[in-house]
Amino acid sequence: MATAANTMTSNDGAAIEARLSEERLFPPSETFSAGANISDPAIYEKAGENPEAFWAEWARQLEWVEPFHTVCEWNPPHAKWFLGGKLNLAANCLDRHLKNARRNKAAIIFEGEPGDTRVLTYYDLWREVNNFSGVLQHLGVGKGDRVTIYLPMIPEAAIAMLACARIGAIHTVVFGGFSADSLRERINDSQSKVLITADGGWRRGNVVQLKLTADEALEGGACPTIENVVVYNRAADPRHVAMTEGRDHWWHRLMEISPKRVDPEVMDSEDPLYILYTSGSTGKPKGILHTSAGYLTQALATMKWTFDIKDEDVYWCTADVGWVTGHSYVVYGPLAAGATVLMYEGAPDWPHRDRFWEVIEKYGVTVFYTAPTAIRAFMKWGTEHVEKHDLSSLRLLGSVGEPINPEAWIWYHEQIGGGKCPIVDTWWQTETGAHMITPLPGVVSTKPGSATRPFPGIGADVVDENGDSVPPGSGGFLVMRTPWPSMLRTLWGDDDRYQKTYWSKFGSKNLYFAGDGARRDEDGYFWLLGRVDDIMLVAGHNISTMEVESALVSHPAVAEAAVIGRTHEIKGQAIAAFVTLKDGFRGTSELAGELKEHVAHHIGVICRPDDILFSAELPKTRSGKIMRRLLRDIAEGRALGDTTTLADPSVVAGLKDKYENAEG
């Protein structure tokens, strides 16, 4: 028996093993396939034979000022796509739709948390974006300048982003839940000239005071590059908002005095579009840089094929614009496709736990895209909130952000989708810009818990330590063998870190390493196993956190689980499980024993958790991903590491107390 390395990164050495076996298969219904944007399975082979031709065909669906002459230039690890092409992304998202019947179609349907609503047609949105482009120019913003956007989930977030794109400025959106320190760090790293914020936004009946936080970030000249701050009046009485003379301006005042029309700047395919910071687990945030034509091409392609988007759809992606999902699938993808996108400002449980279902019923949402963390919360709350509403307008469901446990998948399928909607489990990253591994809902039979196959034209693979493909059924490292249009181009101001982080693991093989573990089954389906840094090494066996968590979630009492490996003298690591129960269940020691046996029975005795700790909540990042690193600190009795990226730091502090006071 191996007493393997007591290190926290247990991913070296033994191959990642896979135990979860899921037999359920959901083929697309005939009616869905018949009406789908793509229903021919031959597309996989066709795209695989010539990915560049495949992507070029999609790129030609954009509106170009000048066509590209070269599809892709690949100097590992740097790629350029659609070289020589000129276009403007805001024009692709707005102006082009004014020439057809979409002119008066709803582009954005907005539902504020307090219940206020707005509908912006494509023409309305085009007018707002033009006018706000004028504002930015009035403030001296030009091509290549950086603009930080720190706004709630309101249409102005999309307007500000598109106005930047229209004039060629680079936006960097900072999630409205981030602190003054995080905001300051991102403004300074990007050297933004202008900050766009709001007095506040609504969250669970309270106003999140964005302007106060922005003032704190800027205090005492801490952000020397910021020349102007634009403040949108969303939530408060403007008389009560402190405005710094000469620096701060009300959005609506600037709109009045600025040009109403601004022609779109002619941009190169490879001109930067945005920087989006990812906090990573530790250290300085990474400024992921995305460029123009390739990014929009893949956002559009996936919008049409993954989400099967049609002109009649009412599409709702619940992600905040502060995350990449909000960039690609609230703003750029849907608007490039001419879709109607719903934006909701607030929390899913405000004023009641049925708010999402109420919104779906109210607007007749047809395509709904959310995260496993939300789905597990809905499961925890129980079905009575869902049953109050008519969700029959739904025709397609999506999931993103974490592996979706098979039980959560089935619940989503039955309770939300009424058993009739395909589910697209979309694997991708801030770095990849758009979907990479996902079913095509009219083509691929889905298996609960699997993101299924790489999108056509994507060269995903699962490899061993040496970068060689693993045989079917085995686990390994998820990599990309070939560049893709919406890939990150570099890290802002740190190309060395770009090369080291993503391209160095397999040396001269030039593989993009995503940081995730995966398994590919006999049908070629990908099963995401979680971040490799989280994978556990128990008695010489690499065990995926995702699989033990899914086994726990398959017990009727469990809503959510986070599993980690803590150092163990004999086994290398022992498994500690933090478990949240569904409403109505109690965390007794009998139940803990039952759960241990449940896991052992389902996926093997080697995976039996050594400790189970019941917890009402788990530590999550602000975008809802479970943070296992801090749970390891707790289980090993260490001082807690960096907690600044947590949504609610009190959750880990509470867990630490509880863990230390629990019996052995």
Under rule CB under 6 A, how many of the chain's residues touch ligand 7RM? 21
Instruction: Tell me how far, at minimum, the Cβ of 371 lies from ligand 7RM, in Å.
Output: 8
- C-alpha triplet 467, 470, 474: angle, nearest 5°: 135
Which of 201, 403, 483, 565: binder of ligand 7RM (CB under 6 A)? 403
Nearest CA to 96 among 125, 128, 57? 125
Shortest reach from residue 328's CB to ligand 7RM, in Å: 8
CB of 473 to ligand 7RM, least distance (A): 19
**Interface characters, 446-485, with ligand 7RM (x: CB under 6 A):** -----x----------------------------------
Strands (E), 84-165: 86-87, 106-111, 117-121, 146-150
Does 278 help bind ligand 7RM (rule: CB under 6 A)?
Answer: yes
Q: CA-CA distance, 64 to 306, in Å (whole number)?
A: 24
Distance in Å, CB of 573 to ligand 7RM, minimum: 20
- DSSP-derived letter for residue 94 is I
User: Does the protein bind ligand 7RM through residue 393 (CB under 6 A)?
Assistant: no
**Other beta carbons less than 10 A from residue 353's beta carbon:** 20
Question: Is the bond preceding residue 351 a cis peptide, omega within 30 degrees?
Answer: yes
Q: Is the dihedral of CA 588, 594, 597, 599 positive or negative?
A: negative
Q: Which of 131, 446 has the CB closer to ligand 7RM?
A: 446
Nearer residue to ligand 7RM within complex by CB, 333 or 403: 403
Only segment of 44-52, 215-223, 440-448, 514-522 that touches ligand 7RM (CB under 6 A): 514-522
Cβ burial, residue 69 (10 Å; 0-12/13-18/19+):
exposed
- Contact with ligand 7RM (CB under 6 A) among 208, 324, 396, 421: 324
Interaction of residue 173 with ligand 7RM, rule CB under 6 A: no
Q: Is 425 in the site for ligand 7RM (CB under 6 A)?
A: yes
Q: By CB under 6 A, which span of 487-495, 512-520, 580-588, 646-654 interacts with ligand 7RM?
A: 512-520
320 near ligand 7RM (CB under 6 A): no
Least distance CB 287 / ligand 7RM (angstroms): 13
Which residue stretch of 205-213, 426-434, 465-473, 581-589 sits at the interface with ligand 7RM (rule: CB under 6 A)? 426-434
The binding track of 619-658 with respect to ligand 7RM, each residue x by CB under 6 A or -, is: ----x-----------------------------------
Strands (E), 259-376: 267-268, 272-278, 286-291, 314-317, 340-344, 367-370
> Is residue 424 within a helix (H) or strand (E), and if so which, with residue range?
strand 423-425
Nearer to ligand 7RM, 401 or 565 (CB): 401
Does position 531 interact with ligand 7RM (CB under 6 A)? The reply is: yes
Distance CA 380, CA 400 (A): 19
Q: Which of 649, 578, 570, 38 is nearest to 301 (CA)?
A: 38
Give how far Cα 606 sits from Cα of 171, 536, 541, 597, 609, Å: 48, 11, 8, 11, 9
* Residue of 94, 173, 336, 400 that binds ligand 7RM (CB under 6 A): 400
Residue the block writes with tokens 């807690």: 640
CB of 428 to ligand 7RM, least distance (A): 5
Residues 543-602, interacting with ligand 7RM (CB under 6 A):
none
Question: Is 248 an interacting residue with respect to ligand 7RM (CB under 6 A)?
Answer: no
- Characterize 546-567 residue by residue with b for buried, 16 or more Cβ atoms within 10 angstroms of its Cβ, and e for exposed: bbbbbbbbbbebbbbbbbbbbe
d(CA 537, CA 523): 27
Q: Does 402 bind ligand 7RM (CB under 6 A)?
A: yes
DSSP state of 181: H
Residue 141 or 410: the one with the smaller Cβ distance to ligand 7RM is 410
Chain residues that interact with ligand 7RM, rule: CB under 6 A: 278, 324-325, 399-403, 425-430, 451, 514-516, 528, 531, 623
